[in-house]
Structures are given as structure tokens and as C-alpha cells.
Copies of this chain bind each other. A is one copy, B any other.
């Protein structure tokens, strides 16, 4: 990359960029032009002359990113000059071991607090020093430096030392070989297998840049409903090409392992994890994978779940299965991420009990390079669930969090809902495993139980859409996932604010208004979809739109009626000791509040209790009235978001403004669809009228029951 210095000394800032087309491809790495000369002059000092010590592909990437950023900030009028020496430059990017001894001394022992992937941004005698133990740390530090500029931080007193709190920070792509994406709503898979390995698309590089900028250090590129073909040389060669492209960004490749691959690929008679031939097969296969990808991260496995083969087929435990694979990757330093989302082929009394019942007894029986990957809640990525009871219940087995960034049950890609709000609710939930304050975040960062291995995974919401994520604002969920993966206790207010500034504008009004939309969006969605603890009342299979009437079919626990159990007597799933007693999977402290239908926070009421329609609630309303009012409130919330957004016109580029505006049309009309159809359906049982303030449904129930959905994406 050739580096030129601008000869221009006079710079004109003409704000005609505003209103110019912006499809959102650049994500939060927009590096939008500075808003005036004063701001530009201030940061120019730090960007014009930069010292980067050393040489490596990662350091090249750092240099390139600084060029891209400068081109953006200065509207192509200023380019940084780079030098290897530190003399006279205001910004230094330098490994801590290479710092001049004098400075090392002055920085003191704090320097040793910078760990493997950490960094330190330190203002020092008028300079900014970005230092780290590793080049990846320097890359993270550079992105932090650029973020400080993007969000208009003052640099003089910068003193930011950061280490990731979680080791394995992964995206999980549920991408199929035909490029469809299971639960993908942003088009199709960005992985173009047909063109790999020869063609490395710029989008793969930009994917790696984006992930590195938020600290993600691993990616599992295939669907967990896996195809054994990915373990053949044809696809390993393609995976290797991606691994090579991602390596300098600090991102490792993981593969999903289909449990019966030995049978499919090499006609072994069994996939029994205790069968020596099967064990040998996996060891050989693993060795082969490492011959392609020397730093292969390991396997991600969905077994004994939704038709996937697994150790149950041979009467073995989940630990038997996981340990076999763990033994295969151990010599190479790999790990196994074994999903806890296991459930029997027979419909149980209460599906949400299963993972706990299956895994809890296995605590302590897994190899130390196995980590069990647990969804945030015990059911399946609902708009609201209590935290998964396994968190806190497996002190001897590392557990990692699985969040779903893609919005399977949350209106898919056209609803603006800020997932960080929901994730915080989970992460800050108290497991009481070691007394008060034993939050889920402390379980997964390893501090509560002293896990040696820690991890977090987000099911990606990335596709071929020009803006990556369908909704422009769904980029915020990808961003927030990275930030919470780095630090699960991070402040989601700040995350939202930073994202807005980096992605759209530093305009004060814009940031304030949009942040309020973001922070209120989750509760609004819960209200118009599943208020009061309702769950799994989406349409069958694709889960798009309401389907409280879904009943019958292959499995009862794939229906809505199984979960809401509405009748004239009442509604809700009794999970107290009088019912399935799933509540007992939680610490006793929770029984006190959640176990009592009069004390439980209303947002979990119907999750844990079955109550009558006329039950009087703490709000003063009876259940039916409260439900109807909450649905109405959700619709009004969606309309409020839409009207707030309408005020943003002109504050950002027109293309993204309009993109979001038109999605609001969909969101508001779907919110109404949810309210009208759910209330009409439940009204059959409550036999009560809609309370004042709740709008009359647009159609009758029959209309909603007969509404045909064709070609819904994501399945």
C-alpha cells in the first residue's frame, strides 16, 4: 500500500456529503467527515504522523485502517504519514516490550496488567501511546483509538487499559452450503463456497475488520445443523482460505461437527463415541483439519437435538460425545463447544426442563477443553425469558453463553429492537449460586466458579444484504454483542451511544432521540408480542408473526397451545411445584418471588404461573385487561418510535434515514397484527370485552387464522 501525503494545506469542509447515498455497508466504521474545521484540526495532530513499530500482517492492517479512517475523517484531503521510529510523532503504536526503557519505567507496573489480547491507550507527555503485548492487542487498541475519535473524545487525558473478560468470543453462522441461512433474515450467506478458495472477496476482509473492531476472535462458519461434507478436503480447502484471510485480524475458524460424520463420509457402521474406530476416525479427521488450518479453533456441536444425531443414539451421555471430540483436538490446542440445547424426541411434560436435567448431573465429567454452550434462556430465544437455570448450576464445567443476534422470534429483520437491553437483563440476573451478586455475567466470565475456559457466542445476523443485517439498526446488535463479549458488564447505554455516533452522526439531538428509541425498543416489542410472560406463540416453523392458535402436528412442544394453555379457566404454564416444577431448577431465592403469583414481576407471570382471566394484578387490572392494555401499549410504543424517527430526517444521510423509515411501516403494521390477532384469539377464552383505550381489531379472528404466509425467509 503506497502512502502519499496530501500537499493541500487548505481544507474545505462542505457538508454536501450529508444526503449522499450510504447503504450502510461500512457499519460502525463509517469514519464520517469531521463536522467542522476546529474538530478536524484537533484530531489532525494525532492522525497526521503516526509511528508503528515493527512489522507483521497485523501491523499492516493497522496502518491500512488508519488510512481508511483518515480518508473518511478528512474527506480524502489528508493522509497519515507513517514511520517506524517514534521521534516527534504524536501517536505511537508499539508493543510494550519495544517501548523505550525510560517510558517503560514511567508507565510503571500498570504495564504488566496488559494481558495477551489487551491494550492500553495512554496519553503521555502530549502523545498518545497505544501499546499491547501482541499485535492483535495493538489492533484492538487502534480500533479503540479510532472509536475515541469517532465519538469525539478528548485525547489529552486518555488512560484506557482494557483486557477482554471472556476468552472465546465467537460468532456462530447458521449458514448452509447452498447459501441459505437458517434463521437468517438479511439475505443469504456471505460465504460464496463456489468461488472459494480462489476468490477472497473484499467482504470477507471487511467482515474480519468489523469483528476485530469489536474484539470478536472466532467464527464458526457453518450451520450447527451440520453437513458432513464440510469435513471433506473440498470444503476444508475453502475454510482454510477464510482462515488465512481472518488470521491477521485475530479471528480463528471453528467448524461444526456432524456427529455421525464417520458413518456418512467413510461408511463406518457406527458413530458411537466409545467405539475405538470412531475415536480413531475423529483423531485422523482432526489431524487432517489442522493440516489445513494450523490454528483451527475447534468444534461446535449440536447433538441429540431437533433430528441431529448424537451420543443418545448409542446410549451414551453428552459428556461421552464431547470428550471424544475433545481428545481429538487436544493435541493441537483446540476446544469443543458442546451445545446444551438438547431435547428428546418424545415430548416432555415441560421442554424447558430438559437441558438442566440432562447436563446438571454431568457436571465435572467433561474434559477441560470442553465448554458447554447454553442459550440465554431455557426455551429458545424468546423476546423475554428468565435466564437459563444451568447458569450457576455447573460449577465444575465451563459454561458459555449463546445469544441469538439474528431475530428469529423478534420480528425478524424489520423490527427495530435493541437486543443489548435483553442481554443485559440476562447477564445481570442473579443466579445466587454463591449468594447474592452471583450474576450470570460472573458465571460466563469465569470469575464465579474459577472456570479455566470462558466463552460467548452470538448467532450471527449477517447476510448478503447491502447493509449486512437487513435492518440498518440490527448492526447495533452485532456491535453490542462484541462489546458485551469483551465485557459482559459493559454499560449498554454507552454501547448504544457509541454505536449511534460511529454509525450515523455526533449530532446531539440525533444521538439522544435515537438512543431513547433503542433503550425503550425491547420492552415495546415484548408488549406487542408476548406480554406478561407469554412465550412461543409465534407462527409455526418460521416463527414470523403471531400464531397463538398453533396446535397439533408432530410435536406438542413445537406448538403455542402447549406453552400458553389458554382455556376459559385461565392461561399460563404452571412451573411451580404444583406444575412442572421447572422453578426448582433455580436457586431457592427465586422461589420466593417467582414462586408466588402475587409477588412475581408481571413480566414473568405466565411463564411460571397459570392464572385466571379475572385475577387481579398489582396494577389494579385483572389479567385480561392488563394483557389487552399491554398489547395496546406495545403498538403505541412502535408508533412512538416511528414518530420519533421521523424527526431525524435531515440529520443523517437520506438513504439510511428512509431505509429505517420504511421498515417502521412494517414494524407498526406487524405490531397491530400481533395485538389484534392475539387479543381476538385469547378473547375466545377470557370472554371479556376489550377495555377502553384498546383499538378495535382491523379484522376478525378468522382473517388472522387464515392469513397465508408464503416464502418466509430464514428456513
Task: Report A's interface with B, CB cutoff 8 A.
Answer: 1-2, 4, 6-8, 10, 12, 14, 16-17, 19-21, 23, 25, 68, 71, 75-77, 79, 177-179, 187-188, 192-195, 198-203, 229, 234, 414, 464-466, 655, 658-659, 662-663, 665-666, 669, 708, 710-713
Contact = CB atoms under 8 A, between A and B. Distances in A.
Contact of A19 (B2, B25, B177): B2
Contact of A194 (B12, B179, B200, B711): B711
A202 B666 CA distance: 17
B662 A198 contact: yes
B234 A710 contact: yes
Contacts of A187: 179, 187-188, 192, 464
A12 B16 contact: no
Nearest to A75: B76
Contacts of A708: 234
Nearest 4 A-B pairs (CB), nearest first?
A: A199-B662, A464-B464, A198-B665, A8-B12
Contacts of A68: 21
B12 A77 contact: yes
B666 A414 contact: no
Contact of A14 (B8, B17, B199, B712): B8
A229 B4 CA distance: 57
A519 to B, nearest CB: 25
A7 B14 contact: yes
Nearest to A1: B19
A20 B71 contact: yes
Contacts of A234: 708, 710
A669 B199 CA distance: 13
Given A198-B662, A199-B662, A666-B195, A4 B16 contact: yes
13 contacts: A4-B16, A16-B71, A179-B187, A187-B187, A188-B188, A188-B464, A194-B712, A198-B662, A198-B665, A199-B659, A200-B662, A464-B464, A464-B465
A379 B581 CA distance: 69
Contacts of A4: 16
Given A20-B71, A198-B665, A199-B414, 17 more contacts: A8-B12, A10-B10, A10-B12, A16-B71, A16-B79, A21-B202, A177-B711, A179-B187, A179-B713, A187-B188, A187-B192, A187-B464, A188-B464, A198-B662, A198-B666, A201-B659, A466-B466
Contacts of A19: 1-2
Nearest to A666: B198
B14 A177 contact: no
Contacts of A77: 12, 14
Nearest to A9: B12
Given A75-B76, A710-B177, A663 B8 contact: no
Contacts of A195: 414, 663, 666
Given A710-B177, A710-B229, A669 B198 contact: yes
A414 B655 CA distance: 31
Contacts of A712: 194
Nearest to A470: B195
B16 A76 contact: yes
Contacts of A198: 662-663, 665-666, 669
Contacts of A1: 19
A654 to B, nearest CB: 8
B2 A194 contact: no
Nearest to A650: B2
A1 B68 CA distance: 29
A26 to B, nearest CB: 9
Contacts of A659: 199, 201-202
Nearest to A3: B16
Contacts of A188: 179, 187-188, 464
Contacts of A665: 198-199
A14 B662 contact: no
Interface centre among A1, A10, A14, A663 (most CB of B within 10 A): A14
A639 B56 CA distance: 32
Given A76-B75, A178-B711, A464-B464, A6 B16 contact: yes
Contacts of A193: 711
Contacts of A2: 19
Nearest to A544: B194
A395 to B, nearest CB: 44
A466 B659 CA distance: 18
A473 to B, nearest CB: 14
Contacts of A464: 187-188, 464-465
A187 B465 CA distance: 11
Contacts of A662: 198-200
Nearest to A412: B194
Contacts of A178: 711
A7 B177 CA distance: 54
